[in-house]
Structure 1
């Protein structure tokens, strides 16, 4: 199967790129590994209500629908994405998993679960959800309780009456910690002391955060975590949890034992029934491994969205475009630059 441009992934970034390709009248297809629409949002835990979710930005050309704030965000966004695909008649094929991307004389050859695709241009919008990060940790194999990643969290009720250690300093860690603390005894462990923001994240702060990430990816370094740049928003829910003592964090423990977590300080030891690793995600880019794009710093050098070593390849939803708003902008700029590149090569 052949097309001019393949978009890999139908989340916020992939659909934004598809919208721009449709407007440009391009020959393209979107290959999405999920069984249904919604991108990563369809996998969010059911108790994440719409009014507790943040950074949900509308896709280009269609506003988010009005919905009950108590509705699970996963339902609202999945239905919205599905309607978006229908409304703009986007050629999304699913479930199609892209296993590997190879270079050929004209562009790329994609090895997928439904056969081989060839394309002159490629937009990779695979996000991070499929690559949860599990840190190396002494004693993890000894712990007799339950260990799960934040990606597998489905709600607090399954932890009722237990002692739960939540590891991680990001927004998901805080949200899940607060939920679990209402039905269980919780301990919060983070690598660094959390930095709380009391003011809104305005445009100036946003530009400064994006600039920091852009410098990293331009240098071929991994993007780093979002919260390390933005900090954590102090909401009414956070203030209430702090008043209950829920947000009294401890530094990262030194090891796990069969029954919990311990520190070298003999005064610190926590028995645990479960450890929730809310330790973030890494960019899902294994399908690009045959192109040998990794820089010495461990990341992929990107200028804007264009991969420096492959001008016919753009990464959206990566680095500075990892937010929903950033993904929209990235989809637009990536498609415009990619189509100019393909046009100039065809004319040469």
Structure 2
């Protein structure tokens, strides 16, 4: 039997879902949150403790509460989790933990959310499970027979277990860079990074964070953003070809459109390590041969440990894939950020922006979703981001 609700249902009690809950409560509504975990932001507890935000603290708060200045300009994982505990205390949301949303169907003009605890019927559903729900590992030939240690970056915690070991990190996103630099500094005997296509790499700065938001929420044409990101890469780093890093061939938006997830990264020490020879760049992985990792071009190497920093995917096909709202199988929603597909009125998606949907985007989109559901007045994006006083 389905339980009929007159309030919105939010799937996911992570940062995106909590942000929408705050704006809906501020608009006078009482949303119900569903989460398969046992605590808010449960995914964040699985990240390595040394992880830092890539977005500037001044831009990175959720609606209603700012991150404390004591965390510095780039808060760490535990800083953010402390912030979330305080945020949940102030919000006092209605969350059903240990409840998995399995499928959403449209029946008689309303949405039916089929969960592990029974069906819920409502007019408005917000899917806030985010871009990083399911770890992704390419279908490399021979991986099942690989005799070395293999793990996805989601399972990495601290660098100490890799002291004295030969480590191969696959992938040059923010996580791959963090892990490669950390194991190098901790004393790995050798660190190599496998890169198929050099992404655009930026230096960490408030200016970079502000530019990222201007690009995602402003009227700049794609060609200008792509060209500008390539010029910034060259301006920051010069020619890195002698170190195995060929110049990027496509800008951030073009690369993101091609691969369907984030293309580009903030450098936290990779380039200096590559220049001094502490981290070696090798070609992309072609497959595995028991003790060896086969690289594109035919060469083989024998690392002790392979850490696949190959990203994560939304993993919402089973939930909404049958509704015709995804760009591609395994991909993002076609429409998000406070808008619905014409054939899916009342179905919203939060936290799915590319380049990655970070906290500034979640705050903006939460207000847009609350406005769409409740009919409240428009908001000032600059005030939401904390830069209008």
TM beyond 0.5: yes
Select the residue among 345, 358, 361 that pairs with 1:323: 358
Say which SS state the counterpart of residue 8 (structure 2) adopts: strand
Structure 2 residue ranges without an equivalent (≥5): 223-252, 377-389
| Corresponding residue of 2:87 | 84
Select the residue among 95, 118, 121 that pairs with 1:118: 121
| Corresponding residue of 2:208 | 201
Shift of 1:105: 1.4
Say which SS state the counterpart of residue 208 (structure 2) adopts: coil
- For 2:192 and 2:359, the matched residues in 1 are separated by 31
CA gap of 1:53–1:188, structure 2 versus 1, over 3 A, is same
Q: Which runs of 4+ in 1 moved over 6 A?
A: none
Select the residue among 277, 281, 285 that pairs with 2:312: 281
Select the residue among 289, 293, 298 that pairs with 1:257: 289
Shift of 1:65: 3.1
Shift of 1:241: 2.4
1:1-348 to 2 correspondence within 5 Å? 1=3, 2-48=5-51, 52-55=52-55, 57-67=60-70, 73-182=76-185, 183-184=187-188, 185-198=190-203, 200-201=207-208, 203-209=210-216, 224-226=260-262, 228=263, 231-235=264-268, 237-263=269-295, 265=297, 268-285=299-316, 286-295=318-327, 299-302=332-335, 304-308=337-341, 309-320=343-354, 322-340=357-375
Say which SS state the counterpart of residue 197 (structure 1) adopts: strand
Say which SS state the counterpart of residue 181 (structure 1) adopts: helix
TM-score by length of 1: 0.83
Say which SS state the counterpart of residue 174 (structure 1) adopts: helix
Shift of 1:171: 0.4
- For 2:101 and 2:151, the matched residues in 1 are separated by 26
> Cα RMSD (Å) of the superposition?
2.9
Shift of 1:119: 1.2
Structure 1 residue ranges without an equivalent (≥5): 342-348
- For 1:127 and 1:75, the matched residues in 2 are separated by 20
Q: Is the 8 A contact 2:336 2:348 kept in 1?
A: no
| Corresponding residue of 2:245 | none
- For 1:9 and 1:137, the matched residues in 2 are separated by 31
CA gap of 1:87–1:257, structure 2 versus 1, over 3 A, is same
| Corresponding residue of 1:346 | none
Number of aligned residue pairs: 326
Worse overlay, 256-265 or 107-116: 256-265
Q: Deviations over 1:212-269 (max 9, x none)?
A: 5xxxx9xxx798222x1xx33344x345423442443222032211112123645x32
Shift of 1:78: 2.1
Shift of 1:122: 0.6
Shift of 1:209: 4.8
| Corresponding residue of 2:225 | none
Shift of 1:196: 2.3
